[in-house]
Structures are given as C-alpha cells and as structure tokens.
Structure 1
Amino acid sequence: MEIKEIYNYYLQSSGIATDNRKINPDNIFVALKGDNFNGNKFALSALENGAKYAIIDEAEYKLDNRFILVENSLLALQRLANYHRKQLNITIVGLTGSNGKTTTKELINAVLSQKYNTKATLGNLNNHIGVPLTLLSFDNTTEMGIVEMGANHQKEIEMLCEICEPDFGYITNFGKAHLEGFGGTEGVIKGKSELYNFLASNNKTAIVNIDDTIQNEKTQNLNRITFGLNNNDCFVNIKNIETNPMVKIEFENITIQSHLIGLYNANNINAAITIGKHFGVSNEQIKFGLENYIPNNNRSQLLEKNSNKIILDAYNANPSSMNAALTNFFQLEEQNKVAILGDMFELGNESSDEHRKLIEFCFNHEEITFYFVGHDFNNHKNSNSNMHFYESFETFKTAFSEIKKENNFILIKGSRGMSLERTLELI
C-alpha cells in the first residue's frame, strides 16, 4: 500500500498507538514485533478496544477492511512519520549526544515555548520507534518541534535523521556511552557525528559548543551557530558559570539561576540559551523559561529527606557522566558526603577497566564515604576504609539499613538497570 494512502487513513484517525491495552477512540494501532511478542496477534483486540484501523504485516490477521496490510509495520510507521513531517510547515531541532540529551531537550522546550507553540519528545522516546511517534504527535498548530535521538550503534542516528529531517542539530557531547555497540570511543564520535553529516548534506545548521574541541573541529565547514565561555567571537558569549550546587549562568545582562545540579549541566543550559536567542526569544523569556524548569525522573534532582540532602541522578550512567557527576560532587563544600554508585552498563570489553578507573578516581577523597553497588564494581573491591562494595542491590540494602543516615549530603548515581532510586526508601 502506498504511503499516501496510509496517510489518508492516518488523517481520519485520532493518532497512533502501539499498545493494544492503551487505545484511545479512533486510534490507528500499529502491530510491531519484538523478540518476545508479535503485535499482529493483538490487532483485533486493539480494534475491539476502540481503534479505527490496525496496521499489520501478516496477511493471516487481516479479517476485514479495518486491517491495513503492509510489508513491514515498523517501516510503515517510520515512512508515515517522515511523510507527515514533510506535510507540516514546521522547524525541527534534532539533538543527540552521549549525556544530557533529555535534559537539554527539556531546556530547549522550556525556552522556545515562551514564544512558540512547541512539542518535544516525550520522556526518552528517542529510538527507531519513539522518533516516529514523536513526529506523529506534531500537528498543524505546532510551530517548533524538538526531537531527541538516541543510539547505541553505528548508522542509527543516520536513520533517525532521515526520518525526522532536522533543520537544526545539536550534539551535547561525545562520551563513553554504549561503548559495546559503537565499538569504543572513536565509534561513539563517528556514530553521533552522523547528525553533522546529515546537516552538511542538506545545508542545515549545527548548534555548536565552540569550547568542545571535537564539536568545533567537526563543524568547521557547516552552517553553525556557536556558544562559548568568554568568547566574543561566538553568537552567544557566556560570561560566567557558577555551581554551588545549582548552576548559575551569566550572559549579556542576564543572570540565570537554574534548578540543575552540576557544572556538567551548564552546556545544556547554554545550548538552550543559544537556540532561544537565534529564534528571537527575548532574554527575559529565556530567563523565565530556564528558571522555571524543574528536573524530574531521577535526573539531577536535589531532594531532602530526614535531614539528608540528596542529589538523585539515577536515570542513567556511563564513565563520562559518572566522572562529571563526581567531579562536581567533590567540589561541593558540604559535610558528611556519601556517594552511592551503581554499575555502568553497555561498556563491552572496556567495562572492567572503566569501573576500575572510576574507583581509582575516588581514591584521594577519604572525606567521602563510597558505596559501590553491582557486580562490576565489586570485582575491583579494595580495603580502603571509606569504600564499601556490594555484589548486588540486595546485599547493599541489607548493610545500608544498619547505618546511621542523618545530616548527610548524598549522591546517588548508576545505570538505569540498577534502579538506585530505590535507595530513597532506605534513607
């Protein structure tokens, strides 16, 4: 079936659904497949639950004209999203990077929404399914779209760019994330730079942190809008950055006091300022948007519980983000500091070495009590009196419940699979 014909069905619907249990009236259900499920089996159930049509890719499930048979349901979803994107008179900002993508996306949205009707990726729906769903959530009232693109292997960003066709692109950083899939640090740089390749090929524009050597070098021949610290040659010159513990930024005649923890969040804010300035958002509107953004979902949240102050940054972790979070934590002038750190995933053959390096990074901070949680950290346990190692969260939970936990300043950080936010229940 031609994509234009499928699009006509889409225009008659109330939107897309991929879960037959979460159907809104007149949705189109798209039957996707995974290693352990076949969405075609649930197409009839989706229609019974209120869907108007169901896109399927196995002929045996086509019972009547409400079933739209295609060769591949996922490919149809992606092509539909791209076709929809082409019909809209909309500017799209695409972003990727090793760390800070979701926070940066939220900050850009907070700024642009002060002047425009914006829509952005919900949560972290940033993959080969999430990006199409994001695009299909845009409509004729949307003026600016912000699309987060995640990847864990080569050619993935290239594919996502072909779907969403960003007009502007920003890479937060190149860090040690998904090393296993990308094939090492150089593979990360190559994979994330697929965004730059798309921008160059299509005469689009990059937002560039000129203080990042790799970003600066790779965008020399691109249309670009730059920001930097104390650099008058940049489009946005950031005059001062402070963290104690929240990030405060000064540019032009404006001071922004954010609710974000750590120096590593400064460039996320700077990118949002730069994009806002380019699109004519006033300094006062930029300040209002950024100062009213409150992080959530376990991302750089500052909490208080039972006399303890807590930095909860347990949504994800990799060597780069862990190093940045600890560097910030080391610099904070607080008493009774405690760091609870969980294993970092998807590091492949470099996992053991990266966990060892992180422990060594903490060696000179005897004033901090460290709790390392997880198999990979536990493989490098040592006899330092301020360092404690646990094979699993359950063994950590048992030991930690017996420790006095009052008037501490606590950092909690680990990969998503560690679910270290559970530590809050122990405090």
Structure 2
Amino acid sequence: MQSPRLTERERRRNRLFTTSGVVIEWYDFMVYGLLATTLQQVFYPTDNATVGLILTFATFAVGYVARPIGGLVIGRLGDTKGRRFALVLSTTLMLIPLFITTILPTYDQIGILAPILLTLMRLMQGFSVGGEYSGALTALSESAGNAGRGRSVSLGLATAMGGNLLASLVVWATTVIWGQDALVEGTWRIPYAVGFVLAVVAVLMLRKMRETESFESVAQSGDTGTPVRILFRQFPGATFLMLALAAWSGVTVYTLISWMPSYLETVVGISDARADLVSALISVIYIVLIIPVAILGDRRGRRPLMIGAVAAYVILAIPSILLLNAGAVAAVLLAIVILATLQTFVDSTTTTEMTQLVPTRIRYTGIALTYSIGMIIGSFTPAIEEALLGSTGTVLVPAFVLIVISLLLIPVIAIYPRYVQQAQAEDVAATVD
C-alpha cells in the first residue's frame, strides 16, 4: 500500500521548514566560537588567559562528544517514529540551551556552578545537532521531488553555512552597536536571545512539516526494526563507505573553516578583522556555489565530480597553501576561492550520496551516526596539522593532508555506486509490498 503522494508545493514547503532548524543549529554552534574570548572572561576567569581560553574551547569540544549519542538516540526515533517527529524534537531541545545560556549567571555570580551549567548546555547542544542536521539531510533527500536530490540536500548545506554567516553578522552588529567592552558586561547574551527567538519560529515551522513519503511507505510495511543493529549487521560495507565520505568532508572543511583563518592570523600575520573577513568570504563563496554544483551533479552525475575533486586537490592543494603563505591580498583571496570552491564539490556529492547508501528504514540512523563520527575526525584535523607544522617545519603539511585524504577516497568512489543500487532496490521492493 502506497502513501498519498505529496504535491510539489508540499515538497517545497517541507524543504523550507526542514532548513529552518538547520539554520538555528549552526547559528548556535558558531555564536559560541565567535564569543569564545568573551565567554572565557565571563565563565573561566583566570590570571592565565591562555588557560582560560583552553577551558572555553574544551567546553566547546564537549558538544562534539555528545553528537554521536544524539545521532543514535534521535536517529532511532527518526527511523521508527518519523522524520518530522525527530526534527521537531531535536529543534525543540535547542530551545533549552539557548534560553538558559541567555540568562545564565556568570562565574562572579554563582561561582563554579556557572561553567558547569555552560558545559551541560554545550552537551545538550551537541546532542541536538547530532540528531537534527542528519535528520534534515535525510528529509531533504526524501523530499527532493522534481528539484533533484543533490539540489535538495544542498539546501541543507547552504543553510548550515548561512547559520554560521548569520551568527557572524549578529555578533558583529552587537559589537558595533554596543562596543567590544560591553560584551563582557552582558551584551554577549544578545546573540543567544536572538537565537532563542529564531528557534521558536523554527519549531513552529517544523510542526507544519509533512512526513516524507519514503518513511510512510516503510512505516506502513511495518519494517522499522532496530536501526542500529540492522545498520551494522546487514549493511557494514555501506556504513564504512558513509563514514569514509563523512571523514573526507570533515577533514577538508575543518582545514578550510578552522585551520586556515587561524593560520592566516597567527602565522601569516593578517589582522583580526581580516581573519574575520576570511571566514565570512568562505561562507559567501560556499553559499553561492553549493547549489549550482549540486545541480551539476544531478545532471552529470556525482561520481565524476568526486573524481574531479580528488584530481583538483592533488593538483591545486600545494599551490593553494603556497599562495596563503605569500601573504599578498590577491594571493590569499585566490587560495580562498580555490579551496572554498573545492569544498562545495566535496560536500554536495558526498552528503547526497550518503543519503542513498542505506535504505529508508535505517537512513536517519545511518547518516546521523556516520556523519557525527566523520565530523569528530575532521575536528581534530587543525590540531594535527598544527602539530605536524611544528615538528616538520614545512608549511605544506595541510596540502599533504588534503592530498592524502583525497587519494584514500579513490577506492570508495570506485565501489560506492553498487551499494546505492542495493539500497534503492530494497526501497523499491518495500514500496511494492
């Protein structure tokens, strides 16, 4: 028995509602990073600013630990209760850390309880992201319709980067209006208050979302099972491929958005303001290009684009890093354009194919778990690159990292289509039944 088909208008509404939650998740994620220095003074006052900043970023990293847990818990709900149910739940959970952080007393007011509560809020944020983002990608893939799967999934990627950019703008506006010194006095709460209001709007939008046809077909067949057990017992090969694709994306994106701005500021010697502009420029390039690249993948195939991305990293990674080290504005801008453009090819292809490597009945869980682990792997990349830079003395370490991780993906690119075909065959059989 087939579920009623959604109209194209309903699919467009689904895509809009789904991306609203993505914006909030990544807005909150970025706000903490942008306010790290301020939060260190408010929640981790110490005579050693470096120690305080390390503690602040350690609290930030705690959120990553919670992501796979959130992916497993909310992913299971998404595969058994529905995509809509899981997305509403995960975005609603975001309201709690946003609201509590907005009103959270400082260290001077309640002592050690302040950083403890802040850490708990980061855990909850990471738990929520682990389930929300992967669920959004799943729902976008299943709501593609005439838009094309790559184009639909890449809306989630674009809005994630849009959330980062929105956070940058809100923090920048707060600083410009009230001044840098006022942040420590309390205006740091304003970006969190804005995020809370936006999250309420997102929850209201997600409640109007229709369940995807793909999930309803599986739900009607009664074949939901235990997603994690099915994932590892019946689809170990596909699970490994999803993890490999996620790791490729994680390593390349964290080199781009985390290592590069920091390196330009601390080693190349550009100013703080210009480093912030670098981050904003990366976001703009990504948002502008990700959907056109995804459309190209829908029309020409994503596998050729992956092969092209591997070849481009092998050829262009070293020249790009050398351009960064040249320090000239034109050289740095060219390097940013090259690496940001390559990132859109990696993300638009890998993320879309991840949504097709396992069948509908375990898709949410599969993406949630492998994507979270892949991003954890990626999050360690800047630290590893910095350590290797220090021990080897060569500025080309990040280029070698990009080249090696890309070359390691060649076997994955060679064999993954057969797993996509197997997953699609199971979905067709489930629909017929």
Rg (Cα) greater in structure? 1
Structure with greater contact order relative to length (CA < 8 Å, sep ≥ 6): 2
TM-score (ref. length: structure 1): 0.27
Which has the larger helix fraction? Answer: 2
